[in-house]
Amino acid sequence: MEQKQTWFKRINLCFFGLIVALGIVQVIRYFSLSNAVMAMTALALETLIGLIAFSAWRGKMPFLLLPVAVGGIVLNSFLNYGETTSFAGLIVAQGIVSAVWTIVGTAWMIVKKQKLGKLCWIPLAASLMIVCMVLVFWKINTDRDKQWNGHAKHTTWAVPLKFDTGEIAEAGTLEELVYETHAYATDGRTVTKRALVYLPYGYDETRSYNILYLMHGTGDDENYWLKTHGYNKIMLDRMIAFGEIEPLIVVTPTFYVEDDCKDTGLDALTFSFAEELRNDLMPAAEEKYSTFAPSIDEKGFAASREHRAFAGLSRGAVTTGNAALCGNLDRIAYFGMFSSFRTTEEHLKETIRSEEWKELPILYLYASTGNFDFATPYMLPGYRMLTDLDERLSYGVNTMLDVFPMRYHSIGHWHLALYNFLQTIF
């Protein structure tokens, strides 16, 4: 019996050591991202896991690891994405290790009638305190920003309810824009596409309006921003009505071209959209609607670039980088990248650093991600590479990167990013 208990102690210690070792490596990896929010996230999460694992080890209670096992599975759905991201794989590994020892260790104790050790109240209480502190801190800051009743301001917690709730009489309208373009990523055939257009309340064809092109992400369509998630339109209406932003036109297109590239990957569409935007969408939208473009040609678009913005989320943010920033810098001066980054240094050097474009001002580039967003491991070094490469971008002056606490790859994150972005353009 004593020998069996010794083996149990050794294996119990091995599982505890493995969980802690994986956690230490993961903290080091997150600290390598050089971002305070990500560093604090990893430190808090791994401290929590370590305290629970310590209690399970010292108390000879493998079943206490169940929360770590479940947490690893849940976090995997936020932090990793099968096609692109496995940066947070060690957290998943901790969950798997915990699940194995929860099942095997608990079964061992039942079958072998192992005695439980003494429950370690202090580390368990400390872990509960960490959870409570994080949740309370998040709720206090989120509620504070939601209840904010002053002028719109930059925030990393929540859009104020003042701008986020309730339709108003002075509401803008949505129209459908149908235009012809080409399958630039494949065979060049002529196709007919659709975009959604937001016109501000009181739209007047005799005046000129700034214009924002706003792109959705993988698997969605042109309805995503303003119809599927209609509170984005409500936010636009209310920010304009309260005088926080100037009335503007918003165009929400799609990078999809019928069934093209579904089997070969969507990257080709994020590059080829540069031609569609340049040759077809901009001329169609700005010929029909009243913008600052004095003419619908190269000269007219170049002259009005400071009245034009492009932003997108996820795959739409990749499109912002590849098609708008790198493909149309001579026509667009403001950029928003929410959960990106898949634009290479070589592509940036060939385009925005070219002799033709390197002197064009970038009036603002806003980027965002969430501390639980699987895009973060790409967004942070990609953004740093871009700002290091181009001296036109000065942090805190004409560019900013937000890492939103308690946000992941979701519309809640992108809704907040749009709120911040609208305050930086025009």
Give the pLDDT confidence of 295-351 residue by residue, as tens digits. Answer: 999 999 999 999 999 999 999 999 999 999 999 999 999 999 999 888 999 999 999
Answer whether residue 387 is part of any domain. yes
104, 119, 146: which is the final residue of a domain?
146
Q: Is the pLDDT of residue 352 over 90?
A: yes
| 52 vs 16: CA distance, rounded Å | 10
Q: Alpha carbon of 347 to those of 325, 342, 350: distances in Å?
A: 10, 10, 5
Q: Could you tell me if 142 and 170 lie in one domain?
A: no
Q: Which whole number is the average pLDDT over 111-127? A: 90
Q: Which domain holds residue 71?
A: 2-146
Answer whether residue 155 is part of any domain. no
80, 115, 146: which is the final residue of a domain?
146
- Grouping H, G, I as helix, E, B as strand and the rest as coil, residue 399 is strand
Q: Which whole number is the average pLDDT over 162-175? A: 95
Q: Could you tell me if 177 and 129 lie in one domain?
A: no
Q: Could you tell me if 268 and 131 lie in one domain?
A: no
Answer whether residue 311 is part of any domain. yes
Burial track 51-86 (b if 16+ CB lie within 10 A, e otherwise)? bbbbbbbbbbbbbbbbbbbebbeebbebbbbeeebe
Answer whether residue 211 is part of any domain. yes
Answer whether residue 35 is part of any domain. yes
Q: What is the pTM of this model?
A: 0.94
Answer whether residue 237 is part of any domain. yes
High-pLDDT (> 90) share of the chain, %: 90
Answer whether residue 214 is part of any domain. yes
Q: What is the pLDDT of residues 74-85, one digit of tens each?
A: 999 999 987 778
Place of tokens 């301001």: 153
- What pLDDT sits at residue 3? 60
Q: Alpha carbon of 169 to those of 173, 187, 241, 246, 306: distances in Å?
A: 11, 47, 9, 17, 30
Q: Find, among 278, 253, 254, 280, the residue nearest to 266 by Cα.
A: 254
Q: Is the pLDDT of residue 2 over 60?
A: no
The mean of the pLDDT values for the chain is: 95
| 410 vs 339: CA distance, rounded Å | 9
| 229 vs 233: CA distance, rounded Å | 8
What letter does residue 81 receive in the DSSP assignment? B
Q: Could you tell me if 234 and 126 lie in one domain?
A: no
Whether 17 and 62 have beta carbons less than 8 Å apart is answered as: no
| 209 vs 290: CA distance, rounded Å | 6
CATH number at residue 256: 3.40.50.1820
Q: Could you tell me if 10 and 121 lie in one domain?
A: yes
Answer whether residue 139 is part of any domain. yes
The neighbour count for residue 9, using CB atoms within 10 Å, is: 14
List helix spans (H) across 181-337. Answer: 231-241, 267-276, 282-288, 298-303, 315-319, 326-328
| 337 vs 421: CA distance, rounded Å | 9
- What pLDDT sits at residue 84? 79
Q: What is the pLDDT of residues 153-164, one digit of tens each?
A: 999 999 999 999
Q: Could you tell me if 129 and 167 lie in one domain?
A: no
DSSP codes joined into one string, 249-295 = EEEE--S--TTTTTTT-THHHHHHHHHHIIIIIHHHHHHHS-BS-SS
Whether 199 and 249 have beta carbons less than 8 Å apart is answered as: yes
Strand partners of residue 365: 335, 399
| 257 vs 208: CA distance, rounded Å | 30
Place of tokens 């895009």: 375
44 band by pLDDT with thresholds 50, 70 and 90: very high
Q: Could you tell me if 257 and 326 lie in one domain?
A: yes
Whether 57 and 16 have beta carbons less than 8 Å apart is answered as: yes
Q: Could you tell me if 142 and 285 lie in one domain?
A: no
What would the two tokens of residue 382 be? 């990609």
Q: What is the pLDDT of residues 356-414, one digit of tens each?
A: 999 999 999 999 999 999 999 999 999 999 999 999 999 999 999 999 999 999 999 99
- Write out the H or E segment, with its range, that includes residue 28: helix 2-31
121, 146, 171: which is the final residue of a domain?
146
Q: Could you tell me if 43 and 179 lie in one domain?
A: no
Place of tokens 């026509």: 331
- What pLDDT sits at residue 85? 82
Q: Could you tell me if 225 and 370 lie in one domain?
A: yes
Structural domain count of the chain: 2
Q: Could you tell me if 413 and 287 lie in one domain?
A: yes
Whether 407 and 157 have beta carbons less than 8 Å apart is answered as: no
Q: What is the pLDDT of residues 192-242, one digit of tens each?
A: 999 999 999 999 999 999 999 999 999 999 999 999 999 999 999 999 999
Place of tokens 């009743």: 149
DSSP codes joined into one string, 40-58 = HHHHHHHHHHHHHHHHHHH
Q: Could you tell me if 329 and 406 lie in one domain?
A: yes
Q: Find, among 345, 327, 339, the residue nearest to 418 by Cα.
A: 339
